[in-house]
Chain A
Amino acid sequence: MLRYVIRRILMLIGIVFIISVGSFFLIHLLPGNITAVIEGPGASPENQAKLFKLLGLNRPIYEQYFVWIGNILHGNLGTSFISQTPVVTTIGNALPIDLEIMFLSQILAFAVAIPMAMRSARKPDGVIDRFFSAGSFTMLSVPSFIVIILLVLFVSIKLGIPHTGPSSYVSLRGDWIGNLESMALPAITLAVGSFVVYFRVLRSDLIATLQEEFITMARSKGLSQRRIMWRHAFRPSSVALLGAAGVNIGGLLAGGFVVQYLLNIPGLGYTLIAAINTDDYLLVQGIVLVVSVGVVLINFFFDFIINIVDPRISRE
């Protein structure tokens, strides 16, 4: 177990290092004079000095990396030349919104996917299973930006439910019912995308698990169907489910960007797109770095949980 954890942590450090190098080199993709492009219309000798201090642009490229990473390790991602706000502050304000959307959507997705997969796996190829499977397969082909458009069309425009349309975001600090209303469509959209993945993974894994000898063994003990499904089949299969959830984070992020963009919800996705459109490169770089490291950490966390659920993995 300890060896396994050490190996994972080494891997994690390697990944974070590669992410940092990747994010660092992003600004060198910029066409033309980097300082001029980054500072935009606010270019001045003073700003130039700030930027050189932050990025070490006058030094050789490998030194630049150490200057840059040194600043980041001190929590300094720079100050945007466009909005004059520290990048860390902007990210700090936006991040909780993403976390809230993700949290709500995952609860929804699991709440729907798990019982449906259980039902389907009990009689594979039965009427219910076929219906669920065909439905989830179809939904697999509907990208989240279409889901949210359709939801807005019907829920906000046709039904006129308040706080669900574009530009009607209510902050959690004010009115939490309004906030839940404005989070409903984003959460549902992300839940739809996740649900499809979770249902399909859990269903096929449950079907395989239910063929296992230890299920027959559990049956022969005289346990109820319900108990067998939850205690004996779901737990081994939940490893596959957690694995899928870890991998799904990427899709979740993209979905988050899309809903925030459409509904003008000031989370990281919205901020990122706005930053791209205003050429606020330092902010883009900061968001890319934070989000990537966040995803890797979440994946690491999922790996860890999987280990606790399934004692077989770390032993091999």
Chain B
Amino acid sequence: MTDVSEKLLIVEDLSTTFATAGGPLPAVANISFDLGRNETIGIVGESGSGKTVLSRTIMGLQPRTNVSVTGSVLLDGNEMVGASEDFKRRLWGTEVAMVFQDPMTSLNPVMRIGKQIDEALRVRLGMSKQDAKARAIELLELVGIPSPVQRYKAYPGQLSGGMRQRVVIAIALACSPKLLMADEPTTGLDVTIQAQILNLLDELKERLHMSVVLVTHDLGVVATRTSRIVVMYAGRIVEIGATRDVFANHRMPYTRALLESSPKVSNASHTRLITIPGRPPNLLKLTQGCSFAPRCSYATDKCHQERPELQAADQPGHSFACWNPLPTTRGDSAT
């Protein structure tokens, strides 16, 4: 490990538990990873694996009631867990910002988009009205919105989904954050738009020297754009490592299942995708053992009784949590 101060983000033993009517719900449990400056990390998992909650907890954006967070999130030296709303508010926008999942719901429908962008500039950076407007138009241009001067006055309802997501990105970039949390930034969009948005994020990351946490359920999305990948299942990390290693030498059967279930261009047409049988576990009724065991074809009695901890794989920085890991010799699933 390199010097701590070089890391922009250090997450340690982070857990988020919701208090629900059915009892405590551990949405995120014992997550640890870090992120260097100008690095992109991917967080991958099915719906319900806790990745959205994780990204919001890192930012400190979890709801304010009925939730308990333990562990530590050091963001550029600032401890986010347990910090007051006032403290976090000073970091939001300038240190860390978020691109939300669904551009249909994340923009205020009754506020002009220009206003939604320059609001942050004026409140957070104390810009004058004219300066903020000029900067907002610059930002709209930066994220590739045609005729930004006219669009400045548009309401979200007048824009397409792709355009709205660009606006969301512009808002996130407004105060030049050091870390950008992108929570499934393309899920709500058409396939053709998805690549555009992802390439835009990539390009902006290079230009603005940001670090990015890219949350997605689609391994194809992270394959070429991240240096490392975190695979989550039922709120826990089940495999983590350099992108190359995870793709080529994954050890956890769940990772393989995820890979096999995502379509690849290299596949012959009509290749049947392999689905993962069953569904993610009910987090209120977790068993002692590995959460994936009920759906895993390699599961043994031990898997059902004892939870595997993360253990190091052959490559540096690559670890997995599995009692019956896949053999290392295969490399066939690499894209």
Contact = CB atoms under 8 A, between A and B. Distances in A.
Q: State if A and B touch, Cβ cutoff 8 Å.
A: yes
B107 A222 contact: no
A218 B124 CA distance: 12
Contacts of A223: 89, 119-120, 123
Interface stretch (B93-101, B233-241, B263-271): B93-101
B257 interface: no
Contacts of B46: none
Given A217-B107, A225-B85, 18 more contacts: A123-B65, A212-B105, A213-B100, A216-B61, A216-B100, A220-B97, A220-B98, A220-B172, A221-B97, A221-B175, A222-B90, A222-B175, A223-B89, A239-B110, A311-B109, A311-B110, A311-B155, A312-B157
A224 interface: yes
B196 interface: no
Given A213-B106, A311-B157, A224 B89 contact: yes
Closest 10 CB pairs of A and B: A222-B92, A222-B93, A213-B105, A221-B120, A214-B108, A213-B106, A311-B155, A217-B106, A222-B89, A220-B98
Contacts of B97: 220-221
B223 interface: no
Interface string A289-316: 0000000000000000000011110010
Interface string B54-92: 001001010001000000000000000000010001111
8 contacts: A123-B65, A213-B102, A213-B106, A216-B61, A217-B100, A219-B61, A220-B92, A312-B157
Contacts of A310: 109-110
B56 to A, nearest CB: 8
Contact of A309 (B98, B101, B110, B119): B110
Given A236-B109, A236-B110, A222 B120 contact: yes
B171 A214 contact: no
A225 to B, nearest CB: 7
B110 A220 contact: no
B326 interface: no
A180 to B, nearest CB: 36
Nearest to A218: B108
B284 interface: no
Contact of A219 (B90, B92, B155): B92
Contact of B119 (A123, A216, A221, A311): A221
B111 interface: yes
Interface of A: 123, 212-214, 216-225, 227, 231-232, 235-236, 239, 309-312, 315
A219 B124 CA distance: 12
A192 B106 CA distance: 37
A217 B171 contact: yes
Contacts of A239: 110
B111 A232 contact: yes
A239 B110 CA distance: 10
Interface of B: 56, 59, 61, 65, 85, 89-94, 97-98, 100-102, 105-111, 119-120, 123-124, 155, 157, 168, 171-172, 174-175
A214 B120 contact: no
A222 B61 contact: no
Contacts of A312: 109-110, 155, 157
Q: Which of B93, B109, B174 has the most CB of A within 10 A?
A: B109
A120 to B, nearest CB: 14
B124 A221 contact: yes
Nearest to A227: B123
Contacts of B109: 214, 236, 310-312
A123 to B, nearest CB: 8
Contacts of B56: 216
Contacts of B155: 311-312
A220 B108 contact: no
Q: Which of B98, B106, B155 has the most CB of A within 10 A?
A: B106
A238 to B, nearest CB: 9
Contacts of B171: 217, 221
Contact of B107 (A123, A214, A227, A315): A214
B215 to A, nearest CB: 14
A3 B91 CA distance: 46
B110 A235 contact: yes
A219 B94 CA distance: 13
Q: Which of A219, A220, A221, A239 has the most CB of B within 10 A?
A: A220
Nearest to B107: A214
Contacts of A227: 123
Contact of A221 (B65, B92, B157): B92
Nearest to B105: A213
A216 B107 CA distance: 10
Given A232-B108, A236-B110, A311-B110, A220 B59 contact: yes
A92 B107 CA distance: 48
Q: Which of A212, A223, A236, A315 has the most CB of B within 10 A?
A: A223
Nearest to B168: A217
Contacts of B65: 123
B124 A214 contact: no
Q: Which of A219, A221, A225, A231 has the most CB of B within 10 A?
A: A221
A34 B266 CA distance: 91
Contacts of B110: 235-236, 239, 309-312
Contacts of B174: 221
A235 B115 CA distance: 14
A231 B110 CA distance: 10
B31 to A, nearest CB: 20
A219 B56 CA distance: 12
